Amino acid sequence: MRIVIILDIRKVRKLILGLSIIVFLMACQQETQTQERSVGFSLQDSSISWGLGSQESVDLWEKYLGFHNDRQYDSIAKYNADAIHIEGSDGLVVDGSDNHIALLKAWIGQTDAKWTTQWVTSVKDVNGVGGEWVLSGHNLKQNFGDSVANEQDFAGVRVEDGKIIEFYVFSKQYPKSPEATAPAIQLPEEGTEEVAEEASTEE
């Protein structure tokens, strides 16, 4: 006894096409997960290349600066690594969370410093080494008696496991007043105006 199976060619083709699409999409997804796009390099370690960091690290740094503006020193200490390392553009070096908080209290108490973030992003080593680096540009406003000083800061901040491990600040001070950048005006030498008036009269 022979059994004859009749197949609908159109249905078979649709089935094969559907399976092919599913296999293709799964392959693409797997490749995306295993091959993360990276850019850049590091002279210190040739194995490092940089990829896009996380919004969580960006949010942490924003919150951290907000604690500075609100004078919440206990909250700042909570996000500091115990052995936090800080370097400022003026050569200042601070090691340790306790030293950092003591410095902040003295500095902010004298200058009423305020930070305004202008832009921020984050990057990471795609090999998963060293946490993430938050890159931030902000304005720093300080009061010195009757005068106000503004400066533009750039901060490179290493974040790992929800803690600030280290950060480095580079600053560019704004001119203290418009006169600081005004072109120098050359006053006429003595007698120049009289000579000019005589020449004008003769004409």
Residues near 117 by Cβ (< 8 Å), separated by ≥ 6?
A: 62, 65, 136, 137, 138
Q: How many CA atoms lie within 13 A of 96 on its CB side?
A: 4
What gap in Å lies between CA 181 and CA 6, rounded to an integer?
90
Alpha-carbon separation of residue 53 from 13, 49, 58 (angstroms): 44, 12, 9
156 or 4: whose pLDDT is higher?
156
Q: Where are the domains of the chain?
A: 50-178
- Lowest-pLDDT range, 7-16, 70-79, 140-149, 173-182? 173-182
In this model, does residue 185 exceed pLDDT 80? Answer: no
pLDDT digits (tens, 9 = 90+) for 70-82: 999 999 999 999 9
- pTM value is 0.66
pLDDT at 33: 47
- CATH fold for domain 50-178: Nuclear Transport Factor 2; Chain: A, (3.10.450)
- Higher-pLDDT residue of 17 and 183 is 17
Q: Counting beta carbons within 10 angstroms of the beta carbon of residue 101, is it exposed (0 to 12), middle (13 to 18) or buried (19 or more)?
A: middle
Contact between residue 84 and residue 101 where contact means Cβ atoms under 8 Å apart: no
Query: Looking at per-residue confidence, does 125 or 178 come out higher?
Result: 125
Please state, rounded to an integer, the average pLDDT across all residues of the chain. Answer: 78
pLDDT band at 184 (very low <50, low <70, confident <90, very high): very low
Q: Which two tokens stand for residue 195?
A: 């000579």
